[in-house]
Every structure is written in structure tokens, then in C-alpha cells.
Amino acid sequence: MQEKHRGLALFTILVFIFLLGPLVIISITSFESGSILKFPPEEYSFRWYENIFKVEMFLITFKTSIIVSIAGNILALLLGVPAAYALSRFHFAGKGIINAIFVSPILIPGIVLGFSFLRYIVVTYNLPIYLSLFIGHTVIMLPFIIRVISSSLANFDFSIEEAALSLGATRIGTFFSVVLPNIKSGIIAAVMIAFLESFNNVDISVYMTGPGVSTFPIQMLLYVENYFDPTVAAISVLLMFLTAIFMFAVERLMGLSYFTKR
């Protein structure tokens, strides 16, 4: 029995080396002072971290990504929170179809979604790139918002709504004074998860690049095609750092179990 577990433990360690090793390696290579990516680095320096800020496209696309992800998040909230509320609260004919529509952006491959969006909306109506990115990212964030908020509302005691009504509140007043405050942490988690999905997204953003305009991950892809220096490694480290902060925040708010629930 002990041996079986020891063997399993060893195997697990190897698997985690597999999972985390590449991330560790890329972190170390980011400090290489030479201009070719190699491991182990010959000399160490922060040079490539500085370079990030020297490459104008990184700064521009970073700003673009942040703006698109935040703006899209806001629109997704405005569309998604009422929808999640309606779906959790009521039974009605056609609920299945509407549910299906709201979950479809996750089910349909992003690379397909992006293409059809490009062909039928962006090109047909000659939409400016920023607008296209904004709409596209809202589309992919919407199901996450709805899913997380619905999950918060799943065990919600709606009798407090009735209590508020009996005391004289309007339906809208009830929503803002009594429902919303009690799903606050769910909303925050939804926003963060949606933001991450949007910020890291490639499948859709890849269709919406133009002269001087693209999102940060796309810019990273473009850079890698032309330069194989440690800059991208440095960016990766910074991104992982942000991800770690993000994880910490979500764990504080919703607990680790949030990620293991399906």
C-alpha cells in the first residue's frame, strides 16, 4: 500500500514538473542578457524587461486590450446580469432555447465565431476595428458573466424580494437594494474571470487586426514570428505575475472550490 502511494506520488511530481517546468524555464530565460533565447542563460539582465516598454506596439496593444476588455466587460454586465436574474428566477416557455443562445459563444469554436463575425458584420457594415473588438469581446465574455451570476443566484433566497415588496419597494428598487448587494462577490468573480478570458483571447482577436491596431496577445504572436528574443519571455513573466495576483483575489472572494466546480 505504501509502495503504491509512493509510486503514485512520484508520478504526480513528474507530472507537475511537466506542467510547471516550462513556465519556470521561460521565467529564467527572460533574464538572459544576450539576444537569443537560450536556456540556461549565459548572463543575467533586466534588459528585455526594459525592451517591452521600448517596443511601441506592445504599449499600444496593451492599452487596447485593457480598454477592450474593460469596456466589453461593462457591456457584458449590462446585458448579462438582468439575463442571469431572469433565467434564475423564472420558469417560462422557451427557456431552453434562450439558455442555449447564451451558452453558444462557449460551444462554438472561437476561430469559427471570429470568422463569421468578420465576414457578416465587420466587413459587411465596414465596422471600425475598435468597435469590432469591443463587440467581439463582449460576445465571448457574456456567457461567463451569465454562468457565474446564475450560479450565485442558484441558491438565492428570493423571499427577501417579496419581503422588500411587501414593505413598499418597487421591483427595480428591490433588485438594487436587496438582490445585488447579496451577489456582490459573485459579480466581482464573474468580472474577473470574464476579463481574463477576454484579455488572453486569441481566436477572435486574430481576425480583428489592422494597421497599428491589435490586442496584446496577438501582438505577442506577431512578435514571435519575427523576433526570437527574450522579450516575449519577459512579458510572459509579467503576465504570470498578474495571473497570480488575480488568482489570489478570486480565491479570497470565492474560495478555491470555485475553480473545481463544474
Partner 1 sequence: MALFTLENVSVAYEKKNILEDFNLSIEKGQLVSLLGPSGCGKTTTLRLIAGFLEASNGKFIFQDKDYTKVPVNKRNFGFVFQNYALFPHLSIFDNIAYGLRLRKISKKEIEKRVLNMLEIVNLRGFEQRFPGELSGGQRQRVAIARALVIEPDILLFDEPLSNLDANLRVNMRVEIRRIQQELGITTVYVSHDQEECFSISDQVAIMNKGIIEQLSDPATIYKYPETKFVADFIGFKNFISFDKRIDHKDYIELEKAGLVFTIDRHEHMENLNKMIGAIRPDDFIMEQSTTAIPTNGMTGTIKITTFLGRSYQYVVQTALGDFTINKEMVQPFKNGQEVTVIIPKNQMVLVE
Partner 2 sequence: MVTLRKGSDVLKKRYLYLLLLPGVLFLTIFLVIPILSMIGTTFHDEGTFSLQGYIDFFKDKYFIDILLTTLRVSLLTTFICILIGFPVSYYIAKLPSKRKAILLLFTIFPLLTSPVVRSFSWMIIIGKNGVLNKTLLSLGLIQEPLNILYTPNAIIIGLIHLFLPLIIVTLVGVMENIDGDLLRASESLGASKIATFMKIIVPLCVPGLVIGSILVFVGSFTAYTTPALLGGKQRVISTFLYQNAITLNDWKLASIVATIMIVITFIIISIMNGVAKKLNPKG
Scan residues 187-246 and list those touching partner 2 (CB under 8 A): 196, 199-200, 202-203, 206-207, 217, 220-221, 224, 232-233, 235-236, 239-240, 243-244, 246
Q: Could you tell me the end-to-end alpha-carbon distance of the chain, in angstroms, rounded to an integer? A: 32
Cα 208 to Cα 16, 105, 192, 211, 243: the distances in Å are 36, 17, 23, 10, 25
Q: Does 70 bind partner 1 (CB under 8 A)?
A: no
Show the site string, 226-245: x = touches partner 1 by CB under 8 A, - = not: --------------------
Q: Does 178 bind partner 1 (CB under 8 A)?
A: yes
Phi-psi region of 215 (alpha: psi -120 to 50; beta: other; left: phi over 0): beta
Q: Does 170 bind partner 1 (CB under 8 A)?
A: yes
Give the separation between CA 207 and CA 182, rounded to whole angstroms: 39
Site for partner 1 (CB under 8 A): which residue of 94, 96, 181, 211? 181
Q: Does 168 bind partner 1 (CB under 8 A)?
A: yes
Picked from partner 1, partner 2, none, the partner binding residue 169 (CB below 5 to 8 A depending on kind) is partner 1
Site for partner 2 (CB under 8 A): which residue of 48, 58, 61, 118? 118
Q: Does 247 bind partner 2 (CB under 8 A)?
A: yes
Show the site string, 96-115: x = touches partner 2 by CB under 8 A, - = not: --x--xx-xx-xxxxxxx-x
The CB density around residue 66, as the number of other CB atoms within 10 Å, is: 14
Do residues 140 and 68 touch, judged by C-beta distance below 8 A? no
Q: Does 93 bind partner 1 (CB under 8 A)?
A: no
- Kindly tell me which of 164 and 208 has the beta carbon lying closer to partner 1: 164
Burial class (CB in 10 A: 0-12, 13-18, 19+), 169: middle
Q: Does 167 bind partner 2 (CB under 8 A)?
A: no
Give the separation between CA 209 and CA 132, rounded to whole angstroms: 10
Give the separation between CA 211 and CA 214, rounded to whole angstroms: 8
Q: Does 188 bind partner 1 (CB under 8 A)?
A: no
Do residues 65 and 226 touch, judged by C-beta distance below 8 A? no
Query: Min. distance of Cβ 185 from partner 1 in angstroms?
Result: 11
Residues in touch with partner 1 (CB under 8 A): 157, 159-160, 162-170, 173, 177-178, 181-182
